[in-house]
Amino acid sequence: MAHSPGRDHVVVDLPAGRLRGGVEDGVTVFRAVPYAAPPVGDLRWRPARPHPGWTGTRVATADGPSAPQPYREEGDPVLGGHGSPPFDEDCLTLNIWTPAADDARRPVLVWIHGGGFVSGSGSLPGYSGATFAQDGDLVFVSVNYRIGALGYLSFEAEGDVIGEGGDGEAEGGANPWLTDQLRALHWVRENIALFGGDPDLVTVAGQSGGAVSTAALAGHPETQGLIKRVILQSPPFGLGLPAPEAYGERVAAYLELAGVKTVAELRALDWPELIGAGLGLFARTARWGYWPTPFLPVIDGVTLDRHPARTLTHGAAAGVDVMIGWTREEANFGFALDEGYAAATREQVTARIADTFGADRAPEVYAEYERARPGARPADVLMDLITDELFRVPALRLAEARAETGHPVWAYQFDLPTPAHEGRLGAAHCLELPFVFANFDQWAHAPFLAGLTPAVRDGLATAMHRAWIAFVRTGDPNHAGLPQWDPYDTRERTTMRFDSVVTALGDLAGASRVLYGDGLPGPVSAGTAEGAP
């Protein structure tokens, strides 16, 4: 039950206790709402548990701490930063934007932030749900969850010193991050009606690592009936995900960097020490020509039983409505401004291509990428290769697999390049985010938006933002401001191209699809292992 004792705040009575939110520009907002017990002390690396509740009225008008993560005060040259203090392990909270805390049963959009499994926050200004609540009459929920070492270390090898706390008993499990998100979804199911939302009409959306999370959630046995639709923005489905045994080498390297031998000793460290050791793991796991991922989801057969890319083509999750897309030059985000990669040679890039296609095909594949981008430097070929391997081709495979089984999927490619950094970023990873949220004022700190023409920028944002709203509300992204957007099928392969002019094209990424074919390994190829292409 909601009460409105004042014009600037709203009180909601939850099973866990009374909560007081605020009213911001006509939208009712509740911030730092706890959805799970603080994962501190003995609960570090344990599965998320229900929050015990509180007495009195909890004030929910200020953001809570973000999950601990690396931080540079000077920011970065692309996003300008992806998480800012305060940080704290007691971070399992969510934020809610709603037109009103009433009984209107509006569609719900749950946002899972990305960040390479090491950064980000649901409380970032750019992830404000105000525009979705105002423009779409939706209830928007953003989630904080454990990331980096605190979310992605896995201690599954019982009997191994890595997995013991000194008493011979396994100390933790894989994928604490996923248990957080599962708990958040159950919280939404149990409570969102009190905030004007419909628990039977929930869309989960995520970008990058958050899109991997979204797919994992959609196919999880604990979420059956909880998720109606998913939006997958730039999922790096080309990542190979390890089993616990394979991941053990990475965990052992991390423990060495942290200067400890057991999980009990690791649990005694303060979280800043854990972040420092994680920075060391970046260097230990980096490979030339590959996106750095020191921490990864683990396919443990318990919390996660298959690659997330496979969940939406199997079982109950096959019936979930899906929209999936990528940016034209995803990899430019991580590589285009790196002078070391800018100086890459043809020989280096050909050797990298051989990792995927074999030495015999590598020269031919290099030539294909050159033809697709006249005047391409070796660095450009490398970035297009990484974009295809990690993002575009695995997304196409999912779209193809869905289409073959008769389950609809809408596909898009974001093509608008940014003029920032002399145009070197192109249509890079993350660039679609401010367009989807249509809140450029909240992204003023982000260098990658510099130089965009306001009229083009705002027109494209309106088209994308309204498409996301339509999909959340109906399962179909079409609206009056778009050309007809048909589901992806294996005949027309319709893909919406979001650029200064929005166009629905047949087989937009056909060159990449044909180049990679069906015979190479990949998470959504029938009968293959869980590894990357």
Annotated catalytic residue, options 82, 421, 429, 465: 429
Tokens of 422: 């002399």
- Residue 121 designated active-site: no
| CA–CA distance, 524 with 526 (Å, rounded to integer) | 6
Q: How many helices (H) and strands (E) does the chain have?
A: 17, 14
Instruction: Assess contact for 266 and 162: CB atoms under 8 A.
Output: no
Helical spans, DSSP H, in 259-345: 263-267, 271-285, 308-311, 332-335, 339-342
Q: Quote the distance between the C-alpha of residue 389 and its chain's center.
A: 17
Residue entry with tokens 């809408």: 410
Phi-psi region of 121 (alpha: psi -120 to 50; beta: other; left: phi over 0): beta
- The DSSP letter of residue 154 is -
b (16+ CB within 10 A) / e for 19-41: bbbbbeeebbbbbbbbbbbbbee
What's the Rg (C-alpha) of the chain? 22
Query: Would you tell me how many other CB atoms lie within 10 Å of the CB of residue 108?
Result: 27
List CB contacts of 203: < 8 A, sequence separation 6 or more: 107, 108, 109, 110, 227, 228, 229, 230, 231, 321, 471, 472
b (16+ CB within 10 A) / e for 76-96: eebbbbbbbeebebebbbbbb
Annotated catalytic residue, options 89, 164, 171, 330: 330
- Residue 208 designated active-site: yes
CA nearest neighbour of 303 among 158, 181, 189, 206? 181
| CA–CA distance, 462 with 523 (Å, rounded to integer) | 34
DSSP string, 366-409: HHHHHHHSTT--HHHHHHHHHHIIIIIHHHHHHHHHHHHTT--E
| CA–CA distance, 114 with 206 (Å, rounded to integer) | 7
CA nearest neighbour of 515 among 377, 396, 409? 396
Annotated catalytic residue, options 208, 234, 512, 525: 208
What are the two backbone dihedrals, phi and then psi, of residue 289, each rounded to the nearest 5 degrees?
Answer: 85, 10
- Residue 429 designated active-site: yes
Give catalytic residues, as residue numbers: 208, 330, 429
